[in-house]
Amino acid sequence: MKIAIVGYKKQEKFAQGVTNDEDAELIDFLVKKRLNVVPAIWNDENVDWTSFEVAVIKSPWDYHNHLSEFLNWLDEITKLNVKVLNPVEIIKWNSHKGYLKDIAKKGLPVIPAEYIEKGHVFSEHFFSLFNTDKLVVKPCVSAGAQNTLIVDQKNYDERLFEINELLKEQDYIVQPFVDEIKNGEWSFLFFNGKYSHSSLKTPKKGDFRVQHYHGGNISYPIPNAVHIEQAAAYVNSLPQHVLYARVDGVIRNNNFELMEIELIEPYLFLNADEKLLENYYQALIALIS
């Protein structure tokens, strides 16, 4: 069985501050497990996708800038009877942040959100709607805090034009700024529905973005078992089994509250740890056997 570990063309752009190459380490580990795995770029015209039985969507970190092309590609390789992990239906659902509405409807805690459709305009009413003086405005299709803006009463006028220009291109989501982000964003990693490990990303002083390439710090404290159980509820709510899920959120009033569930291309914080790589391997074997 030949397995593609799917990435994208310019991974070095997102590698700043990362001391390890997670894809290379994962592939090396899986090869040692006698799996026939090779790296493949999702939009490389030279790749013969008919040669693969399985495509693991690992790090196509530019998908959000080429969404239609990416989703069409997924449909095409599915027609070739390539098994895609995570499942294509899950990826499509997770590609637009409107999925948060579906999760909230199931009664699971989610940071409150409203949506502005492409071509519509941003307005001050969101401050009163959320009873807050600070908002987060970000694209419904995005990654890495791209075009994510903080809006408050002081900068509203200068942000208004910028946001409305961005709304000419795509849908946006509006949420109240969550002060707890200053204490860090937790990521809980699950492989085939089973909890594996977690990380805590904290923003640098004066910033809200937790990504390492924006100056954020990554640590690995032991999480509260209750929070692991709460994070697992989001994975258990999915309609299909997934190879990987990264459940991102904050702790508010000692309870975990979802910011995003990453099912397309999250960094997995495997960190060359053989125990964590083994967790991934066991999940993969279970889903392709």
Cα angle 170-141-75, degrees, rounded to a multiple of 5: 105
- Mean pLDDT, residues 68-76 taken together: 97
Alpha-carbon distance 198 to 185, whole Å?
A: 11
pLDDT at 211: 56
Mean pLDDT of the chain: 92
Per-residue confidence (pLDDT) for residue 189, from 0 to 100: 98
| pLDDT at residue number 212 | 57
- Using the predicted structure, report yes or no on whether residue 10 has a pLDDT greater than 90: no
For residues 116, 162, 166, 96, the Cα torsion angle rounded to the nearest 10 degrees is -50
Rounded average pLDDT over 258-262: 97
Residue 203 confidence (pLDDT) above 90: no
Q: Which residues contact 99 (CB under 8 A, 6 or more apart)?
A: 93, 261
pLDDT at 6 over 70: yes
Average pLDDT for residues 222-240, to the nearest whole number? 97
Is there a contact between 86 and 288 (Cβ–Cβ < 8 Å)? Answer: no
Residue type, 171: D
pLDDT above 60 for 214 = no
Model pLDDT, residue 85: 98
Name the pLDDT band for 22 (thresholds 50, 70, 90).
Answer: very high
Sorted by where each starts, the structural domains of the chain and their CATH numbers stand as: 2-94 (3.40.50.20), 99-109+180-281 (3.30.470.20), 114-177 (3.30.1490)
pTM of the predicted model as reported, rounded to 2 decimal places: 0.91
**31-52 residue pLDDT tens:** 999 999 999 999 999 999 999 9
Residue 16: pLDDT over 70:
no
Does the structure show a pLDDT above 80 at 252? yes
More confident residue, 101 or 181: 101
For 93, 94, 135, 173, the CA distances from 113, given in Å and listed in that order, are 17, 16, 10, 7
State the virtual CA torsion across 241, 247, 251, 253 in degrees, nearest 10: -30
Per residue in 123-173, pLDDT (tens digit) is 999 999 999 999 999 999 987 777 899 999 899 999 999 999 999 999 999
pLDDT at 249: 97
Q: How many CB atoms lie within 10 A of CB 50?
A: 9
Closest CA to 163 of 191, 185, 135, 184: 135
Which CB contacts under 8 angstroms, 24+ apart, belong to 258-261?
Answer: 258/100, 258/103, 258/108, 258/109, 258/110, 258/111, 258/234, 259/111, 259/178, 259/185, 260/97, 260/100, 261/94, 261/99, 261/103, 261/234, 261/235
* Confidence grade of residue 12 (pLDDT, cut at 50, 70, 90): very low
Q: Which range (56-60, 210-214, 241-245, 256-260) has the least confidence?
A: 210-214
Residue 213 has pLDDT above 90, yes or no: no
The C-alpha angle 264, 270, 271, rounded to 5 degrees, equals 135
For tokens 């092309």, the residue is 69
Averaged pLDDT for residues 90-118: 97
* pLDDT value, residue 13: 43
Class of residue 239 by CB neighbours under 10 A (exposed 0-12, middle 13-18, buried 19+): exposed
pLDDT at residue 74 tops 70 = yes
Q: Which of the four pLDDT bands, split at 50, 70 and 90, describes residue 20?
A: low
Residue 281 to residues 255, 274, 286, Cα–Cα distance (Å): 31, 10, 9
At residue 208 the predicted structure's pLDDT band, cuts being 50, 70 and 90, is: low
Phi, psi of 13 (to 5 degrees): -60, -35
CA distance 192 to 204: 33
SS3 assignment, position 27: helix
| Separation CA 52–CA 37 (nearest Å) | 9
Residue 250, judged by CB atoms within 10 A of its CB (0-12, 13-18, 19+), counts as buried
Output the six-digit token pair for 258.
């979802």
